[in-house]
Structure 1
Amino acid sequence: MQVKKYQAADTQQAMRLVRAAHGPDAVILDCRSIAGGVEVVVSLESMPESSFASLQHNRAASDGAEREPTALDALLKRGKTDEDERYQQERKSTAPAQASEPAPQMVWSQNEELLTMKQEMASMKSMLMEQLKGHNWQEANQQAPEQQELNAYLSAMDIDPALGKRLCAEIPADESDTVQREMLKMLLVKKLAVQSPPSSGAICLVGPQGAGKTTTIAKIAAQYVLTHGRSGIAILTTDTARVGAQEQLRAYGRILQVPVHVAGSEEEAVKTYRLLRKKNLVLIDTAGISFRDKQGINELYKLVSAMQDVPVYLTLPADVETYVQSEIIDAYSSLNAQGAVLTRIDEAMRLGGSLSNLIQHRLPLVWCANGPRVPQNLSAADAGKLVNMAVRMTKAFEIRRQGPQTTAIETKLETPAVADTPAVPMRAHRGSSLNVRV
């Protein structure tokens, strides 16, 4: 007999997977609990439901006595009832639409040709934005020839031309290159707004998919537990679209012995948050929403507004294009984020674009994350250290601009890795310690 196993967070999700793959007449052989959920075993051989029911009846009769109902029987009965009701409701709700217009045969967003075209257009847009930057720097050089070296340095750092022009206006042109660069660093540190991370209350992280919200939540929770203990913290996730994100938070919750609550609706999220407000710190993880999904962001706005006075922090990946970062900030502006978390710094080639966006959008920086390790790779934002890191990353691009006469050894020596930043010791709870890299 050929069988297939399905794993899910709970029995309802498992039954939904089985029904989607094999229809309402699927033959379930076993159901057992596993780490993080349940596992359902389904027979791949075609067996009508009536035959399966008859087989169960014959087995019970052959035993000579009435058989005690098992957990599998209860699961089959409950799953069959729930799925039948849901199936009938779906048929009633979709019947008029099917009669009026045929169902689409393909989801256009998954068409290979369109996906390839989308990637090519994104590449073309990135190339055009780079050419536009170069054109803007050429205009700046023509307007102020005495600042060509400083403009070239700003371009290598990936500073936005509009911001670079304002910075150059505050730097005397008759100073040496070394003095001008030091003044530039001071101006960037001064203009980059930084806030201290909150140590109590609520922290709600929002942002696009893959920005690092869930991992950042785990890092903040781990640092809090090491410093203050585990009794005053709780985690609430509203991300029901990705089961993996829930399981990741549950795994961290088990390790830290911190309660993790899952809310599947706005009403459930509001009720759960009201119960958790007595905690000293409540961390709220939300579903990743694309900056192009206006409806999704509007729903997220309603969710956050319903919780009342929950501080929102935007999770901003440092390794995406500068114009994409700007679009992310603009798309989430309706949520009135109090600050930002700059993530994936270790995967970014340059940081000038991120600095430009934070400065131009007047978005305070609260945390910096430069790796996946929990809790080490998260630290409070430090404008001076972040600008110094951006300057060190710039050296590699300056060497490329100078030409091929620079040897590979020189390039290696003058290009420090992000992981080489000094560790800042942090006092931990009950005598333990951890190192947080900036």
Structure 2
Amino acid sequence: MQVKKYQAADTQQAMRLVRAAHGPDAVILDCRSVAGGVEVVVSLEGMLETAMAAPQAPSFATPQQTRSTPVEREPTALDALFNRRKKAEEEISQTVQAAASDSKRPAAAEPQMVWSQNEELLTMKQEMASMKSMLMDQLKGHNWQQASHQAPEYQELNSFLSAIDIDPSLGKRLSAEIPADESVTVQREMLKMLLSKKLSVNAPPTSGAICLVGPQGAGKTTTIAKIAAQYVLTHGRSGIAILTTDTARVGAQEQLRAYGRILQVPVHVASNAEEAVKTYRLLCKKNLVLIDTAGISFRDKQGISELQALLAGMQDVQVFLTLPADAENYVQSEIIDAYSSLNAQGAVLSRIDEAMRLGGAVSNLIQHRLPLVWCANGPRVPQNLSAADAGKLINMAVRMAKAFEVRRNGQHSAPEEQVAAESVPAAVAASAAPRRGSALNVRV
């Protein structure tokens, strides 16, 4: 087969060269991207066959026909072939232009492994997070040492604040309100009172629409089940419904359905925002509507924007941020900042039983002026959920700080400290237990 190649900067220039050399009936065999532009391969034999298959017929028009309006002729096989080739030429031109635009992009079109599937990168990410946490701890220690050097009279108080894991900037403001000539015991008691006073606490709502938002694994679904179980034990099951928009995790849906079957509470699943809004409008007649949302990372700005648009379509929804207590202090701060666009009415401090210290969470709640509404201290339903109490939470933070200091120093705690540390979760669990129905202990 005889072929001829034409190279040009782009597809349009190449097509103009082909038309100029072979006319509109050129048979294009291939068109591909090359260095510096594109290359078009044209068949010369196809041109010869086309020319032989369609000889020009002689004209026998009469003078009258010549002077009149020309008569439209019927389409021939040559016309159909020309139209088909012209259409194919346009499709090839569009394909080449798309390929040329893709070749100019910096990223390759070949599939690549996602970073979360690469074990080496995942290990590196964990090591980097550990190094960052260690550096942040060292920086806090340096800040506390500097504060103690500037104000030696507050050295014992600063050491106490550092043990609780209170943010240094907040600790300096609190120390300024405490007299330096008081004893260490009095200073600590005054500090606990100041923390309890500055930590804003709101009463949990018992009606309306409650929506929990937060990152993955924060405990939103389990908290929804705890709130539902406590409501059923107190008010019955007729006025409550659960709506979940978490379609990313099938396990979350099954978990809520299992709780719904045990509590005999209807659970509705919405696959998209439009369906969620329609379902919510149907459930507005209920006394309490609990809305579970998908976990969104604080780095996922688009996901948070979509969640904001979803909540905008639901009227009178009370939004509460689920804040994991076992996360690093700077991570908690990033979570609160990322979800600030949702205008949360309060926070749920979850995973308290997994946290080493609580001073970081207390500092973030105070500095971001986010009221605390619930405290979740374990996976048991409904016992491990209680209304927020600033005094109890600060006392728990102090006891956990003592246990943390003992473990960090490699010493054995005294029996009194062990009993105090072990009695903290039990006290919170006891305060969360409902008045009746104590036999209910749901674990799925």
TM-score (norm: length of structure 2)? 0.72
Supply the distance in 1 between the matched residues of 2:285 and 2:100 (Cα, whole angstroms): 50
1:413 maps onto 2:422 in alignment: no
Matching of residues 78-97 of structure 1 within 5 Å:
none
Counterpart AA for 2:388: A
Q: Encode CA deviations 1:403-428: one digit per residue, 9 max, x unaligned.
A: 66x54545863751232326237555
1:115 maps onto 2:122 in alignment: yes
1:330 maps onto 2:337 in alignment: yes
Q: Encode CA deviations 1:181-223: one digit per residue, 9 max, x unaligned.
A: 0000100110000000001000000000000000000000000
What is the aligned partner in structure 2 of residue 38 from structure 1? none
Supply the distance in 1 between the matched residues of 2:229 and 2:150 (Cα, whole angstroms): 52
Supply the distance in 2 between the matched residues of 1:180 and 1:128 (Cα, whole angstroms): 29
What SS does the aligned partner of 2:280 have? helix
Supply the distance in 1 between the matched residues of 2:99 and 2:178 (Cα, whole angstroms): 66
Contact 1:297–1:332 (CA under 8 A) maintained in structure 2: yes
Matching of residues 179-218 of structure 1 within 5 Å:
179-218=186-225
Matching of residues 227-306 of structure 1 within 5 Å:
227-306=234-313
What SS does the aligned partner of 1:234 have? strand
What SS does the aligned partner of 2:313 have? helix
What is the aligned partner in structure 1 of residue 19 from structure 2? none
Counterpart AA for 2:437: S
Name which of 361, 365, 373 aligns with 1:358: 365
Task: Work out which of the two has the higher radius of gyration on C-alpha atoms and give 1 or 2.
Answer: 2
Contact 2:144–2:168 (CA under 8 A) maintained in structure 1: yes
Contact 1:395–1:414 (CA under 8 A) maintained in structure 2: no
Contact 1:153–1:398 (CA under 8 A) maintained in structure 2: no
Contact 1:195–1:339 (CA under 8 A) maintained in structure 2: yes
What SS does the aligned partner of 2:161 have? helix
Contact 1:249–1:260 (CA under 8 A) maintained in structure 2: yes
Task: Return closer, same or farther for 1:253/1:178 CA change in 2, 3 Å cut-off.
Answer: same
What SS does the aligned partner of 1:289 have? coil
Tell me how far 1:121 sits from its aligned partner: 1.3
Q: Encode CA deviations 1:130-174: one digit per residue, 9 max, x unaligned.
A: 111011111101110110000000000100000000000000000
Aligned residues: 338
Contact 2:325–2:355 (CA under 8 A) maintained in structure 1: yes
Task: Return closer, same or farther for 1:434/1:318 CA change in 2, 3 Å cut-off.
Answer: farther
Task: Return closer, same or farther for 1:395/1:415 CA change in 2, 3 Å cut-off.
Answer: farther
Contact 1:319–1:345 (CA under 8 A) maintained in structure 2: yes
Tell me how far 1:435 sits from its aligned partner: 9.5
Name which of 388, 401, 423 aligns with 1:394: 401
What is the aligned partner in structure 1 of residue 60 from structure 2? none
Supply the distance in 1 between the matched residues of 2:118 and 2:271 (Cα, whole angstroms): 30
What is the aligned partner in structure 1 of residue 387 from structure 2? 380
Contact 1:108–1:114 (CA under 8 A) maintained in structure 2: yes
Q: Percent identity?
A: 79
Supply the distance in 1 between the matched residues of 2:146 and 2:242 (Cα, whole angstroms): 51
Supply the distance in 2 between the matched residues of 1:145 and 1:243 (Cα, whole angstroms): 56
Tell me how far 1:115 sits from its aligned partner: 1.4
Contact 1:426–1:435 (CA under 8 A) maintained in structure 2: no
Contact 1:396–1:414 (CA under 8 A) maintained in structure 2: no
What SS does the aligned partner of 2:209 have? strand
Contact 1:150–1:177 (CA under 8 A) maintained in structure 2: yes
Q: Encode CA deviations 1:342-399: one digit per residue, 9 max, x unaligned.
A: 0011111111111101000000000000000000100100111111111111212444
What is the aligned partner in structure 2 of residue 83 from structure 1? none
Contact 1:209–1:288 (CA under 8 A) maintained in structure 2: yes
What is the aligned partner in structure 2 of residue 137 from structure 1? 144
Task: Return closer, same or farther for 1:137/1:427 CA change in 2, 3 Å cut-off.
Answer: closer
Task: Return closer, same or farther for 1:407/1:271 CA change in 2, 3 Å cut-off.
Answer: closer
Supply the distance in 2 between the matched residues of 1:293 and 1:270 (Cα, whole angstroms): 22
What SS does the aligned partner of 2:297 have? coil
Counterpart AA for 1:140: A
Name which of 170, 182, 191 aligns with 1:163: 170
Could you tell me which runs of 5 or more consecutive residues in structure 1 were left unpaired when the two chains were aligned: 1-95
1:349 maps onto 2:356 in alignment: yes
Tell me how far 1:309 sits from its aligned partner: 2.8
Counterpart AA for 2:274: E
Tell me how far 1:105 sits from its aligned partner: 3.5
What is the aligned partner in structure 2 of residue 53 from structure 1? none
Supply the distance in 1 between the matched residues of 2:192 and 2:221 (Cα, whole angstroms): 33
Tell me how far 1:269 sits from its aligned partner: 0.5
Task: Return closer, same or farther for 1:111/1:97 CA change in 2, 3 Å cut-off.
Answer: farther
What is the aligned partner in structure 1 of residue 437 from structure 2? 432
Contact 1:395–1:415 (CA under 8 A) maintained in structure 2: no
Contact 2:304–2:339 (CA under 8 A) maintained in structure 1: yes
What SS does the aligned partner of 1:416 have? helix
Counterpart AA for 2:343: N
Task: Return closer, same or farther for 1:169/1:99 CA change in 2, 3 Å cut-off.
Answer: closer
Q: Encode CA deviations 1:21-78: one digit per residue, 9 max, x unaligned.
A: xxxxxxxxxxxxxxxxxxxxxxxxxxxxxxxxxxxxxxxxxxxxxxxxxxxxxxxxxx
Supply the distance in 1 between the matched residues of 2:416 and 2:110 (Cα, whole angstroms): 58
TM-score (norm: length of structure 1)? 0.73
Contact 1:425–1:434 (CA under 8 A) maintained in structure 2: no
Contact 1:315–1:343 (CA under 8 A) maintained in structure 2: yes
